[in-house]
Each structure stands twice: as C-alpha cells, then as structure tokens.
Structure 1
C-alpha cells in the first residue's frame, strides 16, 4: 500500500478535481442528521459527520430500478438501458466501505454476477475518511473499523493534515494533479498511531465483545429470548432500510395506465416484512415476528460468516437508532454476555 500526506487546506482542490470528471456524492447536513447526497461545492460537505441516516449503498444498489420493459399485448420485451454516471463517493467511513465489500461478494460472485450492480460499482470511486465512534457504533467488534480494501483513497486525519492511503492508480493520478502529496515522515506516522489509538479508546465500553457470537447463535437458536425480541418488533422494516449490507430484493411487474405495457422492477425487500417468506398457496415459512427477527440476526452474525468468512453486520449503529422497539445486534450481544456470565 502506498501512503502520502497532504495538508487539510488541499481538500477543496481534491474535491474540485474529482468534480471535473465525476459526480461527487458526499455527506451533507440533512435536518438534524446527515445524508449522502450529490454536491457541487466542497463547502456543502461535512466530513466530521457522526453517521449518515442511510448509507451510500443506494448509489450502487438503488431502492428501485427497472430491469426491462414489456408489451403484454404484443408479447415483446425490451432491454432497459440507463446511462451509468461516473461517480465519486467522498467521505465514506470504514464501516460503509466494508459494507460495500460485502455487497461485492454477493453481486459480483462469479457464479451469479449482477450486471446492474457491476455497472454502477465499476463506475464508482470510493474516497474514505477516518471517523470518531458514536455511542451506538460497534464496528470494532465486527472487524469493520478499519478499511483494508475497497477504497481508492482513504484519508486519515492526523491534525492539520491527512495521511492518504492510495488504493488505485486512477485516484492517485487525481491526487497528484490536485494536491502536493509528500512522503510520510516519522512525525506523521507517530500522529497516525496516536489518532488510531484515540479512535480505539472512543468506543462505547458498555457494548459487550462476545467473541463466540456465531457459535452462540446456533446454541441458543430456540431460546425464549427470541420470543421476547419478536414481541417488540413492529415489522416496520426500518432496520433493513438503513442497513448498509441488507441486499434482499423483490421483483415486481408494474403496468402502465393502458394496462398493456409496463416494466419489471427490482425493489428493496426486508426479511422482517411479514410477506417476505410467503409463497404461492399462502404458506409463510417465517410466519411470526420471532422467527423473522431471529432470522435477520442469524444472517448478520452467523450465516454470512459461514459462507463469506466475515460478519454481514458492520456495527455502524444505524439500526440501533432507527428501531423504535430498541431491537438491534447490541441487544443480542448483551443477551449472550448475560448467558456467559
């Protein structure tokens, strides 16, 4: 990995350089919170944001997208094409970069490659930035607090300057043209270690570290705990709406006003939705909130790990804040901590 150092005042020039050839998406203020949106000026960007309401997932996996158009009367299908915009996501935290890496494993699987996802992902550069954890962040427990891959540049604030980790030639060329990157000195490396230590010490110590979480998900699969958790669930699907790694979707045919033409669309879906596991004939494979909540947690903390060797949960804490019933992986971690006491 190649490292360089730039001064903080060079960031506007870096963003402007990207804007010459790319649409720039960055964190901006959105009411009392923050969101990833298109920006036209560096002044709109808030790089010291805690966590956005939703992640940048929507720019590679839109909530709703057309797959093809059809004419039912003439039995014709037309491929739907959309211009993929070259894009830079500027200011992604490590947890969100790791979330994109997990989505890559799903949609860029060589057995089932998804051309829609690949087109958007291939046209997107990721510029990461360091952050300070909030009270609901637990990315360090999911091994997602550091981004080792999946970015083109990663900026670590080391006080008045940034240590830049370079992940692609394309981004390196933009950095070189817009800024005056220099080699890191011993002073820079010391500042980097201090910043890393400060971030590690900022995590909420009340969130327990349960090392054997995946095994415990199997061992306590039938515990009454899931009944209690399920009884609180409102089936509102807010958790999956804000989650950076939820990738389930539904396919729907939408007819036009004439009732003869329409389009087939891919739409985000959620395993906590009562209709998610319902099949033809009316049978529902997960017909209770208990089973749906347990399934969601199991997939995040066990199932994905078994197939991809990493947790699907990145510990970003969005679901913690979104759930009005206070259901989250943190509750599961606390339950297993009590079981092991």
Structure 2
C-alpha cells in the first residue's frame, strides 16, 4: 500500500479537484443527523461526522431502479439505459466500505453478474475517512473497523494532517495535482498508531465480543429468545432500509396511465416483511415475525459467512438506532453472552 501525507488545509482543494470531473457525494448535516448527499462546495461537507442515518448503498443499488420499458400496443420491450454519472463518494467510513465490498461479492458474482450494479460501481470513486465510533458501533467485532481493499483514497486523521492510503492510480493523480503531498515520516506513522489505539479504545465496552457466533446461531436456533424478539418486531423494514448490506429486492411492473405502457422496476425489499417469503399459492415459508427476525440475524451473522468467508453484518449500528423496539445484532450478541454465563454456572 502506498501512503502519503496531506494537511487538513489541503482537503478543500482535493474536493474541488474531484468536482471538476465528478459529482461529489459526501456526509452533510440535516438537523441533528447526517446523510449522504450531493454537494457543490466543501463547506457543506461534515467530515467529522458520526454514522449517517443510511449508508451510501443507494448509489450502487438504488431504492427503485428501472430495468426495461414495455409497450403492450406494439408488443415491444426496450432496454432502459440510465445515465450513470461519474461520482465520488467522499468521506465514507470503513464499515461502509466493507459493506460495499460485501455487495460487490453478491452483484459481481461471475455466474450472475448484474450490469446495472456494475455500471454504478465502474463510475464511482470512493474516498474513505477515519472515524470515532459511537455507542452503537461494533465494527471491530465484525472485522470491519479497517478498510483494506475497496477504496481509491482513504484519509486517516492524524491531528492537523491526514495519512492518505492510495488505492487507485486515478485517485492518486488527482491527489498529486490538487494537494501538497509529502512522504510519511516516522512521526506521522507514530501519530497514526496513536490514532488507531484511540479509536480502538473508544468502542462501547458494553457490546460483548462473542466468539464462535456461527456455532451459537445453530446451537440456539430454536431458543425462545427469537419468539421474544418476534413479539416486539413491527415488520416495518426500517432495519433493511438503513443497512449497508441488505441487498434483497422485489420486481414489479409499473403501468402508465392507460395501462398500455410501463416499466419493470426492482425495488428494495427486506426479509422482515410478512410477504417476503410468500410464494404462489399463498404459502409463506416464514409466517411469523420470530422466524423472520431469526432469519435476518442468521443471514447477517452466519449464512453469508459460510459462502463468502466473512460476516454480512459490518457492525455500523444503524439498525440499532433505527429500530423502535430495540432489535439489532447487538441484542443477539448480548443473548449469546448471557447463555455463555448461564452455561458457566
């Protein structure tokens, strides 16, 4: 990995250089919260932000996306070609970069490559930024506290400077042209190690570090704990809406007035929806909220791991903040910790 150092004062110049060729999307403040949105000036960007309400997933997998258009009068189908804008996602946290990497594993599967997703991916540069974890962050437990691949630049804050990890030639050239770049010194590397230790020490110690999660998911698959969670679940899909790694979608046909023309669209869906596992004939493979919540947690913490060798959950904590009844992977980790304590008695 190639490292360079820039001063904080150089960051506006870097953003301006990106704006010459790309749409820049970055974290901005909305009331008391933060969201990813297109910006036209560096002053709109909040680099020292806590976790945004929702992830930048929508820039790779839009909530609603047209696949093709149809005309029943002509019995014709026309491929829909969306204008994919060259874009820079600026200021993305490591957990979200790891979330995008998980999405890449799904939509770039060589057996079933997704051209719509790939078009967005190919047009996007990612500039990450280091962060300070909040109360619901547990990315360190999901091995997502660092972004190894998956970015073009990553800005690691070291006081009044950034140690920049460079991941692509395109971004490196823009960095070199826009900023006063220097080689990292021993002092810079020491500051980076100190910042890393400070971040590791800032995680919420009340969130337990549970080992062998996949085994525990299997061992307690029939536990009454899932009935308790299901009894609380509102089936609102707020968790899926904010999650950086939920990738399920539904396909629907939308008709224009007159019902002779329209379009086929894919729209976000979530496994906590009561209709998600319903099939033709009316049979529902997961009719209860308990089964749906358990399936969601199983996939996040175990099922994806078996196929891709890493957890689908990246520990961003958004679902914990979004759920009105306190359901999240954090509750599952606490349940496993309690079970471990009970077994030790």
Structure-2 separation of matches of 1:82 and 1:282: 35
Tell me the residue number matched to 1:63.
Answer: 63
1:53 aligns to what SS in structure 2?
Answer: coil
Structure-1 separation of matches of 2:215 and 2:26: 38
Tell me the residue number matched to 1:249.
Answer: 249
Tell me the residue number matched to 2:223.
Answer: 223
Tell me the residue number matched to 2:52.
Answer: 52
1:188 aligns to what SS in structure 2?
Answer: helix
Structure-1 separation of matches of 2:179 and 2:73: 58
Q: Is residue 2:177 matched to residue 1:190?
A: no
Structure-1 separation of matches of 2:211 and 2:325: 26
Alignment gaps of 5+ in structure 1: none
1:96 aligns to what SS in structure 2?
Answer: helix
Deviation per CA, 1:154-193, whole angstroms, max 9, x where unpaired?
0000000000000000000000000011110000000000
Tell me the residue number matched to 1:304.
Answer: 304
Tell me the residue number matched to 1:27.
Answer: 27
Tell me the residue number matched to 2:332.
Answer: 332
Instruction: Describe how 1:71-90 pairs up with structure 2 within 5 A.
Output: 71-90=71-90
Structure-2 separation of matches of 1:171 and 1:224: 51
Tell me the residue number matched to 1:262.
Answer: 262
2:36 aligns to what SS in structure 1?
Answer: strand
Instruction: Describe how 1:74-153 pairs up with structure 2 within 5 A.
Output: 74-153=74-153
Tell me the residue number matched to 1:203.
Answer: 203
Q: How far is 1:74 from its partner? A: 2.3
Structure-2 separation of matches of 1:42 and 1:74: 49
Structure-1 separation of matches of 2:122 and 2:74: 35
Superposition misfits of 4+ residues, deviation over 3 angstroms = none
Q: How far is 1:121 from its partner? A: 0.5
Alignment gaps of 5+ in structure 2: none
Tell me the residue number matched to 1:154.
Answer: 154
Structure-2 separation of matches of 1:142 and 1:229: 22
Structure-2 separation of matches of 1:313 and 1:203: 17
Q: Is residue 2:253 matched to residue 1:275?
A: no
2:65 aligns to what SS in structure 1?
Answer: strand
Deviation per CA, 1:263-284, whole angstroms, max 9, x where unpaired?
0000000000000011111100
Number of residue equivalences: 341
Structure-1 separation of matches of 2:11 and 2:259: 52
Q: Which TM-score applies when normalising by structure 1?
A: 1.00
Deviation per CA, 1:232-289, whole angstroms, max 9, x where unpaired?
0000000000000000000000111011111000000000000001111110000000
2:198 aligns to what SS in structure 1?
Answer: helix
Structure-2 separation of matches of 1:76 and 1:157: 54
Structure-1 separation of matches of 2:45 and 2:279: 45
Q: How far is 1:82 from its partner? A: 1.1
Deviation per CA, 1:31-73, whole angstroms, max 9, x where unpaired?
2100000000000000000010000000010000100000123
Structure-2 separation of matches of 1:138 and 1:16: 33
2:299 aligns to what SS in structure 1?
Answer: helix
Structure-2 separation of matches of 1:74 and 1:184: 64
Structure-1 separation of matches of 2:47 and 2:158: 14
* RMSD, aligned α-carbons: 0.5
Structure-2 separation of matches of 1:183 and 1:59: 33
Structure-2 separation of matches of 1:216 and 1:172: 44
